[in-house]
Chains A and B, each alone.
Chain A
Amino acid sequence: MRLPWWSTGSLALLLILLLAGLPLLAIALEAGQINLPSVLSNAYTQRVIRFSIVQAALSTLLSLGLAIPVALALSHEPRFPGRSTLITLYSLSLVIPTVVAIFGIVAVYGRTGWFNTFLTSLSIEPLSLYGLNGILLAHVFFNMPFATRVLLQSLDGIPGEQWRLATQLGMPYRSRFRHIEWPALRPSLPGLTALIFALCFTSFAIVMTLGGGPRATTIEVAIYQALRFDFDLNMAVTLACIQLVLCTVLMVFSTLLARHIDSTIGFSGLLKPVRWRPTNTHRWIGILTISIATMFVLLPLLGLVFATANTKFLTVITDSLTLLAIGNTLVTAVVSAFLSVALALGLLISTRHLRVRLHHERAGIWLQLAGNIILVLPPLVLGTGLFLLLQPLADVFSLALLLVIAINSLTALPFVVRMLEAPMMQAGRQHDRLLQSLGIDAWHRWRIIDWPLLRRPIGLALAVAATLSAGDLTAIALFGSERFKTLPLLLYQRMGSYRLDEAAVTAGILLALCLFLFASLQRIIGGRAHA
Chain B
Amino acid sequence: MTANLFRISSAVTRIGALLSVACFMATTGHAAARTLTVYTYDSFTAEWGPGPIIKKAFEATCGDCSIDFVPLDSSASILNRILLEGESTKADIVLGLDTNLMAIAEDTGLLAPSHVETKELKLPIDWESDIFVPYDFGYFAFVYDTEAIDSPPTSFDDLIGAPDNVKIIIQDPRTSTPGLGLLLWMKSVYGDEAAEKWEALQPRILTVTKGWSESYFSLFLNGEAPMVLSYSTSPGYHMAVDETERYQAAAFDEGHYLQIEVAALLKSSDNQQLGQEFLTFLHSNEAQSAIPLGNVMYPVTDIGSAMPPAFEKLIQPTEVLLFSPEEVRDHRRNWVDEWLEASSR
**Interchain CB contact under 8 A, B340 and A391:** no
Can you name 9 A-B residue pairings with CB atoms under 8 Å?
A: A47-B344, A213-B207, A215-B344, A392-B86, A393-B13, A393-B17, A395-B89, A399-B16, A497-B213
**Interchain CB contact under 8 A, B341 and A496:** no
**Residue-wise interface mask of A (404-438) relative to B, using a CB-CB cutoff of 8 A (1 in contact, 0 not):** 00000000000000000000000000000000000
Which of B5, B20, B76, B86 has a CB less than 8 Å from the CB of A399?
B20
**Interchain CB contact under 8 A, B214 and A399:** no
A399-B20, A482-B70 known; A498 vs B9 contact (CB < 8 Å): no
Interface residues of A in 356-405 (CB under 8 A from B): 389-399, 402
A42-B337, A499-B218 known; A395 vs B90 contact (CB < 8 Å): yes
Given contacts A51-B344, A391-B86, A396-B85, 14 further A-B contacts (CB under 8 A): A18-B8, A42-B341, A44-B341, A214-B343, A228-B80, A393-B13, A393-B16, A394-B88, A395-B20, A395-B90, A396-B84, A398-B20, A482-B70, A496-B210
A7 in the interface, Cβ–Cβ < 8 Å?
no
Instruction: Give the 9 A-B residue pairs with the shortest CB-CB distance, closest first.
Output: A394-B20, A498-B218, A395-B88, A229-B174, A214-B343, A214-B344, A44-B340, A231-B83, A398-B23
Interface residues of B in 1-30 (CB under 8 A from A): 5, 8-9, 12-13, 16-17, 19-20, 23-24, 27
**Residue-wise interface mask of A (497-519) relative to B, using a CB-CB cutoff of 8 A (1 in contact, 0 not):** 11100000000000000000000
B72 in the interface, Cβ–Cβ < 8 Å?
yes
- Complex Cα gap A58–B23 (Å): 45
B61 in the interface, Cβ–Cβ < 8 Å?
no
Nearest-CB distance from A207 to chain B (Å)?
14
A340 in the interface, Cβ–Cβ < 8 Å?
no
Nearest-CB distance from B6 to chain A (Å)?
10
**Residue-wise interface mask of A (3-30) relative to B, using a CB-CB cutoff of 8 A (1 in contact, 0 not):** 0000000000000001000100100000
Query: Chain A residues with Cβ under 8 A from B92's Cβ?
Result: none
**Interchain CB contact under 8 A, A214 and B208:** yes
- Complex Cα gap A228–B210 (Å): 12
**Interchain CB contact under 8 A, B222 and A213:** no
Interface residues of B in 61-88 (CB under 8 A from A): 70-73, 76-77, 80-81, 83-86, 88
B302 in the interface, Cβ–Cβ < 8 Å?
no
- Complex Cα gap A325–B344 (Å): 35
B136 in the interface, Cβ–Cβ < 8 Å?
no
**Residue-wise interface mask of A (212-239) relative to B, using a CB-CB cutoff of 8 A (1 in contact, 0 not):** 0111010000000101111110000000
Query: Chain B residues with Cβ under 8 A from A497's Cβ?
Result: 213-214, 218
B100 in the interface, Cβ–Cβ < 8 Å?
no
A47-B344, A498-B219 known; A483 vs B88 contact (CB < 8 Å): no
A133 in the interface, Cβ–Cβ < 8 Å?
no
B172 in the interface, Cβ–Cβ < 8 Å?
yes
**Interchain CB contact under 8 A, B84 and A230:** no
Query: Chain A residues with Cβ under 8 A from B270's Cβ?
Result: none
Nearest-CB distance from B167 to chain A (Å)?
11
B289 in the interface, Cβ–Cβ < 8 Å?
no
Chain A interface residues toward B at CB < 8 A: 18, 22, 25, 42-44, 47-48, 51, 111, 130, 213-215, 217, 225, 227-232, 389-399, 402, 481-483, 493, 496-499
Query: Chain B residues with Cβ under 8 A from A397's Cβ?
Result: 84-85
B106 in the interface, Cβ–Cβ < 8 Å?
no
B224 in the interface, Cβ–Cβ < 8 Å?
yes
B175 in the interface, Cβ–Cβ < 8 Å?
yes
**Interchain CB contact under 8 A, A214 and B340:** yes
Q: Which partner residue on chain B sits nearest A234 by CB separation?
A: B333
- Complex Cα gap A115–B24 (Å): 49
A214-B344, A230-B80 known; A393 vs B8 contact (CB < 8 Å): no
- Complex Cα gap A499–B73 (Å): 14
**Residue-wise interface mask of B (307-343) relative to A, using a CB-CB cutoff of 8 A (1 in contact, 0 not):** 0000000000000000000000000010011011101
Nearest-CB distance from A122 to chain B (Å)?
20
Counted as pairs of residues, one from A and one from B, with CB atoms less than 8 Å apart, the total is 108
- Complex Cα gap A42–B345 (Å): 13
Query: Chain B residues with Cβ under 8 A from A217's Cβ?
Result: 344
Chain B interface residues toward A at CB < 8 A: 5, 8-9, 12-13, 16-17, 19-20, 23-24, 27, 70-73, 76-77, 80-81, 83-86, 88-90, 172, 174-175, 207-208, 210, 213-214, 218-219, 222, 224, 333, 336-337, 339-341, 343-345
- Complex Cα gap A222–B214 (Å): 21
**Interchain CB contact under 8 A, A394 and B340:** no
**Interchain CB contact under 8 A, B84 and A399:** no
A215-B343, A498-B219 known; A229 vs B208 contact (CB < 8 Å): no
Looking at A51, A230, A499, which has the most chain B CB atoms within 10 Å of its CB?
Answer: A230
- Complex Cα gap A349–B70 (Å): 47
Nearest-CB distance from A93 to chain B (Å)?
27
- Complex Cα gap A498–B218 (Å): 6
- Complex Cα gap A499–B86 (Å): 32
A393-B20, A397-B85, A482-B71 known; A22 vs B12 contact (CB < 8 Å): yes
Q: Which partner residue on chain B sits nearest A231 by CB separation?
A: B83
Looking at A213, A229, A391, which has the most chain B CB atoms within 10 Å of its CB?
Answer: A229
- Complex Cα gap A392–B20 (Å): 12
Q: Which partner residue on chain B sits nearest A22 by CB separation?
A: B12
Nearest-CB distance from A229 to chain B (Å)?
4
- Complex Cα gap A265–B80 (Å): 42
A395-B90, A493-B73 known; A229 vs B219 contact (CB < 8 Å): no
Looking at A42, A391, A395, A498, which has the most chain B CB atoms within 10 Å of its CB?
Answer: A395
- Complex Cα gap A229–B209 (Å): 12
Nearest-CB distance from A470 to chain B (Å)?
22
Query: Chain A residues with Cβ under 8 A from B81's Cβ?
Result: 481
- Complex Cα gap A181–B340 (Å): 48
Looking at A42, A390, A493, which has the most chain B CB atoms within 10 Å of its CB?
Answer: A390
- Complex Cα gap A402–B27 (Å): 14
Query: Chain A residues with Cβ under 8 A from B20's Cβ?
Result: 390, 393-395, 398-399
Query: Chain B residues with Cβ under 8 A from A44's Cβ?
Result: 337, 340-341, 344
Nearest-CB distance from A51 to chain B (Å)?
8
A44-B341, A47-B344, A214-B208 known; A391 vs B24 contact (CB < 8 Å): no
Query: Chain A residues with Cβ under 8 A from B77's Cβ?
Result: 228-229
- Complex Cα gap A175–B202 (Å): 50
Nearest-CB distance from B77 to chain A (Å)?
8
Query: Chain A residues with Cβ under 8 A from B8's Cβ?
Result: 18, 22
- Complex Cα gap A396–B83 (Å): 11
Query: Chain B residues with Cβ under 8 A from A498's Cβ?
Result: 214, 218-219, 222
Nearest-CB distance from A194 to chain B (Å)?
27
Nearest-CB distance from A319 to chain B (Å)?
14
- Complex Cα gap A313–B90 (Å): 34
- Complex Cα gap A368–B77 (Å): 42
Q: Which partner residue on chain A sits nearest B174 by CB separation?
A: A229
**Interchain CB contact under 8 A, B24 and A398:** yes
Which of A25, A225, A394, A402 has a CB less than 8 Å from the CB of B9?
A25
**Interchain CB contact under 8 A, A229 and B85:** no
- Complex Cα gap A446–B307 (Å): 77
Which of A213, A402, A483 has a CB less than 8 Å from the CB of B19?
A402
**Interchain CB contact under 8 A, A395 and B86:** yes
Query: Chain B residues with Cβ under 8 A from A483's Cβ?
Result: 27
- Complex Cα gap A230–B277 (Å): 31
- Complex Cα gap A48–B344 (Å): 8
**Interchain CB contact under 8 A, B80 and A231:** yes
- Complex Cα gap A49–B16 (Å): 34
Query: Chain A residues with Cβ under 8 A from B337's Cβ?
Result: 42, 44
